[in-house]
Chain A
Amino acid sequence: MIDELIERMLKGDKRAAARLITLVENDDEKAAEIVKKIYRHTGKAHIVGITGPPGSGKSTLLDKLIKAARAEGKIVGVIAIDPTSPFTGGALLGDRIRMQRHSTDPGVFIRSMATRGSLGGLAKATNDAIKVLDAYGCDVIFVETVGVGQIEVDIVRTADTVVLTTVPGLGDDIQAIKAGLTEIADIFVVNKADKEGADATVFELELMLDIEKEKWKDSWRPKILKTIAMTGRGVKELWEVIREHREYLLKTGKIAEKKKFRAEEEVKTIVSSMIAKRIGRKMQEDELMFLIDKILSREIDPYSAAEVVLEKSLGVKV
């Protein structure tokens, strides 16, 4: 079944691509099988992350960016992520609303995705879904994260170019110089720039970047742009800067560095999750309980117990 789906997807069948994304989302074993089979068809797309706080206009901006990319004939993929409720396991995915006009465009594929327990702003299956869209033939893949706060930075391990949207009046300059989100942006967008305080926000961001003047001598100094996503103002310029950043990555060879870092992170993540799963399978519930009891009675500490667990389930001495 999977082989047939892959064959159809490679020929540009949207339904097959959609089905494959569901499989990588729902089933770890099938995800591994699919990625193994499509991997050699991937690596061509420009992956652009759009991140920023809730309500900063990510989806609306994306709607306009799709238009700009389509105007150049690019095949566009979108993965828009919204949170799963930690209480019910359900999710209400609403990013699509703002992009619906592109639904019927054969050159656009929009997929909503729920976080399903992941906390870094993306879903566990996001990277594999990107691979499906890459193999399907997308030139650009936009990944819209959930609305983020200060530390949900998984997008930096996924995207070639990270666009961070913000809006005027979110906080004082201390918010801007705090570590985290601001460290991952290649492009800052001050959206809703018709609101009071837009110039002040741009100024604060510039100041923040000035602190690291030395760093920018031999690397990309993040660009700061003002947009009004609702009317589309500034979006053309934003699309140009996104492309400029891609050019920069290619010209300087930094793209290779990024891909290396990303591949390393990905393998590490897969290894941890494989180990976790094997431990779950190998360790008998009563064996684990036996250890837990020992921890509670202070006969053994949690670190030593973890060593026992690893040794028993993987057969390696740690």
Chain B
Amino acid sequence: MAVQSLSGGSLSYVQARQSDPLPPPTLVRGPIAWARQNLFSSVPNTILTLVVLYLLYLLVPPLVRFLFIDAVWTGADRAACREDMAGRPVGACWAFVVDRIGYFTYGAYPVAERWRVDVWFAMLAFGLGWLLWLKAPRRDIGAAYFFIVFPIASFVLLTGWRAIGLEPVSTAFWGGILVTLLVSVVGIVFSLPFGILLALGRRSKLPLVRLACVIFIEVIRGVPLITVLIMANTMLPLFLPAGITVDRLLRPLVGVAIFASAYMAEVVRGGLQAVPKGQYEGAMSLGLGYWRMMGLIVLPQALRIVIPGIVNTFIGLFKDTSLVYVIGVFDLMKTIESARIDPQWAAPTVSNTGYAFAALFYFLCCFGMSRYSLMVERRLAAGQRR
């Protein structure tokens, strides 16, 4: 009653009538509600969703058709992969990859000796697993294995040594995934120690040492890898005494090692800078000399911080190894390029099939490494959070 009497007064802003009940809240679970919230929340969002869906429609079905539905899985030569001969639309010519998989993996490495490459792959996987699995036992031995035993064993295994019954195999025959992995591994094995030395040099108190390291790092980082590779390829022989020749595969390896060291140095430097000053001072107050201070106190902390950075540099390096193709080294890309112009497999879709194979290989490797790096990063962050 009181309300009614008030309503007759001046308080017109007071609701006089009971409002209708609100409709029940929209469904917040179930696919339709999800779609409404995440895809069609507003008019622009709806338009965006439709545009993206249309793009996907344009892109994905042809891709799936090319890669799987229309793909040719078996065949002995190009007849299987030509529309006019196969009598149906032809997508990816996987038969070509199947036929040439040996060439893509080993290059022209003699067939009878290919088991050696397989052993090498296994040794590499073993070493990498030991180093990268954070809970593995005795990772110091793992490091010694990877940085000392493995390089020597690889050299003997792959180039051959008559005395122990391994037929010598000229590097001219190496190729494919073998070379791609080899170039990357050499890059990482050499760039880590050199990079650490360069980073220490760049932060050294000795002006000349610092200057030399800064110049080296900045010059290498300022030029494209191709120019470093071409330099290693054409100029290395010039700088050596007459009569000494450098193996054709060794030249890009030198180039890649130099290039990777400069980048690694910057990553390590970041780690060194992130170590608190108190750690240096504490080490010095204990009477440790420079090398002991770095080796026992600073570097273990610095390297730990930059593990993700090191892995990312390695991903970049791994992708960049494809550039050795430019100077005629038979890496995976080069074997694909030379296989796809082979008349035996001359068919319209062979090129793209070859590229798809390379893309798959690189993507699996790089994506795996980047996931690993993320995992380590999260773990390190967990340690810091405490």
- Co-assembled chains A and B: no
Residues of A that sit less than 8 Å from B by CB:
none
Residues of B that sit less than 8 Å from A by CB:
none
